[in-house]
Amino acid sequence: MIKNLFKLGSFKKDVIWAALGNFSLSIKSFFLLKIITSIGKFEYGLFSQIRHTASILVPILSLGLLSSIIRFADGKDDEKRVFSILLFSIINFFILALILKFTKISTIFFGTYDSVFVNILILWLLIHLLDQIFLSYLLAKRQFKVRGLIFAIFSILDIGIIYYIKTISHNIYAILYYLIISMFVSLIIKLLFFDFKKIALISLKPMISFSIMIFLGGVFGIIINYGDRYVITNYYDMKQVGVYSAIYSITNLILILLQPIEQALYPNISYYWNNNKIKDVINYIKISVKYELIIGIIVVLFINIFKKQFITTLTNDSFLDAENLVFPLSIGLFFFVISVPFFRIVSFVKTFYIFFISILLGVFNLFGNILAIKHYGLLGPAYVTFITNLLYFILFFSLAMRILRDKLMIVKKT
């Protein structure tokens, strides 16, 4: 089966280079987990909230248009598309920055208002937004090798420098500001691969019609993916967020082998879908999902069998009280990751369904987290997240199978 995966032409190289990039980021995340948790639970909670909040706000600022950079890649207007999305997103960023600066809306993210937290979040968000736009451009151009090498080199540098900062100061703010500088330098390197001679404004209307439902669904998707941590922030404190986020980070080991497949899959199935080659789309998905299932099940079992060893190695003994979070969070993440290929298929045709499902599961997740945390503590949101991701997989799998079957029948008739 794996041999079949590697017979799919350039898909083989895409997967390998995507895996290098993801593996580098994962190793870096595990080292940061170890380094920052050794400073304190509050410090890891703060780092986690800033990083996750920026990841949440980028799709909102871009109105979900980042996915259209890959979806509509044609080799002709890619630079114009990126430039137009860039200007649109920057305008939205400055509006949001003013709101964050002059209101107390950030209490949703941090449980309290702190101008230092807000300033760091604004800087991190700006660099992360620009980075994600040009990273999407690299993926649209299938520059997985460039992406992989950049991530690998900067991961090594970041681990060494952050360890040094921790050794001399134990200052979380110094680490956060260094990471912002590191992201900025990485962004500059990505810009070297962008053809500025081709930039021009282009209408975003065709892309917005594709992205708007994904964007609206993404707003509720935020609740699905990060609602648990924000509920914990407002019911407990940053230390408990640090504990929960640390266990969540450990389960991210699942992404090391699974996510590269999805990242390489999306540009390929987009190309074949646009050219009406549905059998190729089905073939790519079939092989990819089989590979993800086998590897995913093995990794989930491995994490749960050796959960104590993972916790003590990547954090410290004070986090062992939260070992019961590993099972629901790892299973939930597994179902979420294997649902992504089916989500992509639905996004090609039925973007309204994405909006509807995201609203349904977002509301379920939010109220479920609020109710569960009152009765079961941190374990409550963990199981609500697991149930939400299981439903997410079931719904998108069912819809995608129906869409592929109908599309295949239409192609056969023509």
Q: Name the pLDDT band for 411 (thresholds 50, 70, 90).
A: low
What the block records as the tokens of 346 is 């639905």
pLDDT at position 7: 45
| H, E, C per residue of 14-42 | HHHHHHHHHHHHHHHHHHHHHHHHHHCHH
Q: DSSP of 255-306, one letter per residue?
A: HHHHHHHHHHHHHHHHHHHHTT-HHHHHHHHHHHHHHHHHHHHHHHHHHHHT
- The residue type at 80: K
Of the given ranges (79-88, 117-126, 156-165, 178-187), which has the lowest mean pLDDT?
A: 79-88
Quote the pLDDT of residue 413: 59
Where is pLDDT greater, at 10 or 51? 51
Give the model's confidence band at 178: pLDDT under 50 very low, under 70 low, under 90 confident, else very high: very high
For the ranges 65-79, 155-169, 195-209, 328-342, which has the lowest average pLDDT?
65-79
C-alpha span between 388 and 401 (Å, rounded): 20
Task: Report which residue type is found at 55.
Answer: S
DSSP assignment letter at 348: H
Number of domains in the chain: 1
Q: With contact defined as beta carbons under 8 Å apart, do 334 and 300 qualify? A: yes
33-37, 224-228, 361-365: least confident range: 224-228
| Nearby residues of 49 by Cβ (< 8 Å), 6 or more positions away | 109, 110, 229, 233, 238, 241, 245
Structural domain containing residue 394: 2-413
Residue 3 pLDDT greater than 50, yes or no:
no
Nearest of 254, 338, 257 to residue 15 by alpha carbon: 257
Is the CB of residue 259 less than 8 Å from the CB of residue 266?
Answer: no
Cβ-in-10-Å burial (0-12, 13-18, 19+) of 396 comes to buried
3-state percent breakdown (helix, strand, coil) of the chain, nearest 5: 85, 0, 15
Q: What is the mean pLDDT of residues 204-229?
A: 70
pLDDT of residue 263: 72
What are the tens digits of pLDDT across the range 98-156? Answer: 999 888 888 877 777 778 889 999 999 999 999 999 888 888 887 888 888 999 999 99
Radius of gyration from C-alpha coordinates of the chain: 21
pTM of this prediction? Answer: 0.76
The one-letter amino acid at 345: I
